[in-house]
Homo-oligomer: A and B are copies of this chain.
Amino acid sequence: MDNQTINTLLGHRSVRRFKPQSINPELLAGLLECGLRASNTGNMQLYSVIATTQEPLRGELCKLHFGQCATAPLWLTVCTDVARYHQYCRVNGCDEPYGNLLWFTSALVDAALCAQNICVAAESKGLGFCYLGTVNYNTRQIAELLQCPKGVVPVIAIAMGYPDEEPRRSERLGLDAVLHSETYHTPTDAELVETHRVRDDDPFNKKMVEENGTRNYCEIFTTKRYTRSMNTAVSNDLLQFLKDSGMWDF
């Protein structure tokens, strides 16, 4: 069933080390046009894309992502954006009713679909990229650095450029874990252990368990990478930022 599109999707690898070569503006514009074509709620396009390439800004942004992907020549910060739509409302003498949870989640999905189109197009052209979940950890600082007004929330960060490494294709849980036929089916513990062998028995992951000195792979996440206290702190900060940004008026 393969074709170029499907081979591109199946061949995806996150790239974190890049050559110095920049991405030419015409190519970048072409990739972004692919992003704009993605489906979105009511065709309202409640997102913005900030492309950062120039120093010192690029380096400062990288610092807010804890120095990850330091060699990436291009940083895309995709934001949910009701500010532009509310301005459109004001210009048209209309109500401005989109600063609430429904529209944050709707815009978040739309931003993600747009981002993924950009990334798929990029990979089809030989570029590499990495999504950076750290956008959630320094949302307020990133918004300030990038001069986002109220109503604009950085939600997705992508480091992009020409790959300077050939990373492994990381393992994934399979359809036996993720796909549910007709309705949701909760597995038995034994079934879950079975579908998660691909994860727990992965040589790379087993090495991580050794290096981290945890009892198992799961415990790396719950005690080191994404702990309860960190999750709670970040969730509170994120909610406060949404409130300050006028996205919690309901």
Known: A38-B12, A49-B178, A84-B177. A226 touches B125 (CB 8 A): no
Chain B positions within 8 Å of A193 at CB level: 91
Question: Does the CB pair A9–B34 fall under 8 Å?
Answer: yes
State which of B3, B43, B218 has its C-beta within 8 Å of the C-beta of A170. B43
**Contact residues, A63-88 vs B (CB, 8 A):** 79, 83-84, 87-88
**How many chain A residues touch B (Cβ–Cβ < 8 Å)?**
122
Chain B positions within 8 Å of A38 at CB level: 9, 12, 116
Contact with B along A25-48 (1 / 0, CB 8 A): 011011011101111011111011
Chain B positions within 8 Å of A211 at CB level: none
State which of B149, B170, B215 has its C-beta within 8 Å of the C-beta of A92. B215
Chain B positions within 8 Å of A96 at CB level: 222
Which of A26, A36, A51, A103 has the most B CB atoms < 10 Å from its CB?
A36
Question: Does the CB pair A180–B49 fall under 8 Å?
Answer: yes
